[in-house]
Chains A and B, each alone.
Chain A
Amino acid sequence: MPDNYKPRDHKDIEAAVQWAIAGGKSLEIVGHGSKRMLGRPAQYDATLDLSGIAGIILYEPQELVLSAKAGTPLAEITTLLASNGQELAFEPMDYGPLLGGGQGLGTVGGMLAANVSGPRRIRVGAARDHFLGVVAVSGRGETFKSGGRVVKNVTGFDLCKLLAGSWGTLGILSEVTLKVLPQAKTEATLVVFGMNDSTAAAAMAAAMAAPLGVSGAAHLPDYIASRFDDLDGAEPSTVFRIEGLAASLGDCVASLKSAVRPFGAFATLNEAASQRLWRAIRDVQPFWANGPCGDRPLWRISTAPSMGYEIAAKISPASQLFYDWAGGLIWVAPPVTQDCGAGEIRHAVATAGGHATLVRAPAAVRASFDPFHPEAGALAALTKRVKENFDPKRVLNPGRMWAGV
């Protein structure tokens, strides 16, 4: 029995799932494998490599729509879009270097299965918000489609949303359709120096409450800021990105300066420096596996923006961390301990609201402490029923998110 299959087309995917169902086998679903180390480590009978199901099917810039086979490299899509002045507005991050892999890998299917986004999430949403249509194969070995190729559509249940972020546990994506948007013509970043975490949270709230369309708001404590060449010295730096037209960007930056003036001294980064900075924030470069914190575990905490610093105050002061999403996304690298910080982080998040994902940890830790936020009661039961109705024999990535799902 072969361990690895590389389907060539949709029919091969159906055949693989049918085979797994008939033989009581489990399948690991991978694209490029760039996020393979995220989630519960599980033993699978075979791996389904979807990187051969590739190619852009349709791209109509004026209709703001692109369809591709799920194994299409994300880089191919972003390059094509950029050549037309367009982009995936949710700014998908690259998990590769964070998890010890290379840069620039990943498929569009993997991006959607993980519902990836980036700093612009605060303004335009995540992958789920731009996922218009899908053809997928369920764990029953049956093909189904949902959605369409138009941006406004309420016909039937929105299964795209459910599949986004389901990490291959409900269906195997085969073809996907995305909403694409024009790139901003230019950008600049305003840096405010010297704020502690709680003041920074207030400053970020003030900036987000200004009618300027701030498209990135992050706070970098001194030890993180010092690793960025474009930031000056070793002061905590709170950074705000403004994007727009060359003709009006200056006015917007001036308005933003007025909004944050009470919070401290500031500097402005030009377009090139701003792009470098936000790419590094997007890809969580301070915590890359090959960097100074590379041996530490890594958590991703999503919470209400005003609660971010309160969560941070409750976890080990030896942790390194920084905030994105105006304070609502915290990347935390706690010191190496037996539970990789699971106990105190989960406790802090339970009080504040939100959820925490253990993005990077040794396999043994990911096996003992749920890397995905644990569910309980009626919600956990509902999650299981959803899984059963898509994948009754549990052949698709079983146990990747939670045991028994």
Chain B
Amino acid sequence: MPVLMPAQDDVVLKRRQKIVRALRNIVPGEGVIDTEREMRPYQSDGLTAYRQIPMVVVLPRTTDQVARVLRYCHQNGIKVVARGAGTSLSGGALPLVDGVLLGMAKFNRIVEVDFANRVAVVEPGVTNLAITQAVEQQGFYYAPDPSSQIACTIGGNVAENSGGVHCLKYGMTTNNVLGCEIVLITGEIIRLGGKHLDAAGYDLLGIVIGSEGLLGVVTEVTVRILKKPEVARALLIGFPSSEEAGACVGGVIGAGIIPAGIEMMDKLAIHSAEAFVHAGYPLDVEAILIVELDGPRSEVDHLVERVAEIAKQSGATSLRASTSEQERLLFWAGRKAAFPAVGRISPDYFCMDGTIPRAMLPRVLLRMRELSQTYGLRVANVFHAGDGNLHPLILYDANQPGELERAEAFGADILKLCVEVGGVLTGEHGVGVEKRDLMPVMFSQADLDQQQRLKCAFDDKGLLNPGKVFPTLSRCAELGRMHVSGGQLPFADIPRF
């Protein structure tokens, strides 16, 4: 799979043995891995189309070790890629041939649960679900729930600003993290935020979250925990067209209702899921919606009725409202199994991740059907309909010559379409290497330059996760140059007050 990564540094590679010894001095024992066989599990993340064995894997246990490793790498010009559980779908943790792969799995402790302040302080290698498990006995949970939550770590969630199906009401990672300890590439340790709501000074926490490992290495995270709602109920609604399903979503939100989640699936996704988990989905419809409402019982019961009315007015042909927790989970079972279900009907698939203004859905689906014809590849759609986040699954067979390339081109066309209608390249999976070269579709060079200047403030040598997010990495010295155009400025006609 050709993906252009930064040129390998032969000087660094020649010194590999020396570098490994130096790293062993910092992280003793089995914390440094340098055999190809043992490094193989680290060669890719969830985007398995891209693989690379790193120069060396380091598994630190303490913040001090992270700081010393980074300081050493900074002093010696060695690239560093941080990794959590490796569930990234965009290649965010793809290693570099001349880089250190810094695995944070050993940072797996829950440091503190503080119910009085409704926060948990955890190490970055703790899984997303383990946070909820640590607090659920008291009726609390951690809200962002990416579909990989059993495996993905909170450190990775911070790096990617992960979402999930409940973002519209409860926000993404960035809205649920109050503080971080991060180590800069220089080895300096800084704390951003804490247990209080507004961090002081510049909102560097807001920048670090979603920075895809390009700004620093997170060594501790303080998250907000919420009390579980009294009740959650879901409606399973079938429509004769995705237009009518889309109109229903607009109607619900227009009526002032913010559901905990609204998911849409198209016909291919419905049939695949139903064949796999038998959730009782209607098979004679073009689209289904799963609308979940949560909160105090009397409010939820009332809203379920309102949503049902709106659905009927929007042309729903089937409708079931869950009356038990078991039934609610059954409605979700098909949606949650949608990806593996599609995996059963196709040897391979790509999961795309664009976001669009919701009203553009009919136009985007129509165009996607046309593209599907053009490329001769099927596409199944699951869609976080409330916030406009599309997950088209492009079905292909990597063993058929040319299909992978066609699938990639199809995917790129879908993402360009998302930007064209006013949306964005990625709603929750991150740019990584996957969408890196599409960044200019959405951003001008000036936009990308300013983002990279921010990187320069954190990582002046560009050693942290290079080759991700930005299609070309400019040198900080070049980015810092000022081009002042003489200062002959047209103030004569600017009104004064």
* Residues of A that sit less than 8 Å from B by CB: 2, 4-8, 12, 15-16, 18-19, 21-23, 49, 52, 60-65, 85-86, 115, 117, 121-122, 125-126, 128-129, 138, 140-146, 148-162, 164-166, 170, 181-183, 185, 202, 205, 208-213, 244-245, 247-248, 251-252, 255, 302-307, 325, 328-329, 353-355, 372-373, 375, 377-379, 382-383, 385-386, 388-390, 392-393, 401
Contact = CB atoms under 8 A, between A and B. Distances in A.
A141 B485 CA distance: 10
B10 interface: no
B115 A209 contact: yes
B177 to A, nearest CB: 11
Nearest to B249: A62
Contact of A153 (B114, B191, B424): B424
B458 interface: yes
B497 A353 contact: no
A173 to B, nearest CB: 14
A401 B230 CA distance: 44
Contact of A183 (B168, B256, B357, B491): B256
A148 B424 contact: yes
A302 B197 CA distance: 7
Interface in B420-437: 422-431, 435
Contacts of A156: 431, 439, 442-443, 447-448, 451, 469
A115 B198 contact: yes
B296 interface: yes
B355 A182 contact: no
Contacts of A152: 163, 167, 172, 355, 384, 387-389, 427-428
A70 B99 CA distance: 43
Interface residues of B, number: 111
A165 B202 contact: yes
B194 interface: yes
B116 interface: yes
A148 B427 CA distance: 11
B46 interface: no
A382 B253 contact: no
Contacts of B258: 181-182
Contacts of B303: 245
Nearest to B200: A355
B117 A329 contact: no
A213 B295 contact: yes
Given A60-B359, A61-B254, A145-B447, A378 B188 contact: yes
Interface string B139-161: 11000000000000000000011
Interface stretch (B54-62, B204-212, B264-272, B318-326): B204-212
Contact of B209 (A151, A158, A385): A158
B190 interface: yes
B198 A150 contact: no
B371 to A, nearest CB: 21
A23 B357 contact: no
Q: Which of A85, A158, A185, A302 has most B Cβ within 10 Å?
A: A158
A182 B256 contact: yes
A47 B297 CA distance: 54
B480 A392 contact: yes
Contact of A211 (B196, B205, B227, B494): B227
Contacts of B455: 157
A161 B423 contact: no
A7 B496 CA distance: 8
A379 B488 CA distance: 38
Nearest to A24: B487
A405 to B, nearest CB: 9
B490 A244 contact: no
Given A145-B443, A251-B298, A5 B494 contact: yes
B456 A389 contact: yes
B450 A164 contact: no
B362 interface: no
Nearest to A300: B198
A312 B141 CA distance: 31
B304 to A, nearest CB: 12
Contact of B190 (A115, A181, A325, A378): A378
A146 B444 CA distance: 10
27 contacts: A6-B496, A15-B489, A15-B490, A63-B388, A142-B450, A151-B167, A152-B427, A152-B428, A153-B424, A154-B430, A161-B174, A162-B203, A165-B203, A210-B227, A244-B296, A248-B302, A251-B297, A251-B299, A304-B194, A325-B197, A354-B194, A372-B201, A373-B200, A378-B188, A386-B454, A390-B454, A401-B201
Contacts of A60: 357, 359
B63 to A, nearest CB: 13
B83 interface: no
Nearest to B490: A15
Q: Which of A156, A372, A377 has most B Cβ within 10 Å?
A: A156
B486 to A, nearest CB: 7
B333 to A, nearest CB: 23
Contacts of A162: 202-204, 206-207, 454
A144 to B, nearest CB: 4
B406 to A, nearest CB: 24
Contact of A149 (B172, B295, B357, B443): B357
Nearest to A52: B495
A4 B497 contact: yes
Contacts of B457: 382, 385-386, 388-389
Given A140-B482, A208-B118, A401-B201, A155 B426 contact: yes
Contacts of B228: 211
Given A150-B422, A353-B195, 15 more contacts: A4-B496, A22-B486, A52-B495, A129-B175, A142-B446, A145-B447, A148-B422, A148-B424, A152-B388, A158-B209, A164-B203, A210-B227, A211-B230, A328-B196, A389-B479
B254 A372 contact: no
A25 B341 CA distance: 62
Nearest to B483: A140
B485 A18 contact: yes
B194 A158 contact: no
A305 B174 CA distance: 20
A18 B494 CA distance: 14
A330 to B, nearest CB: 11
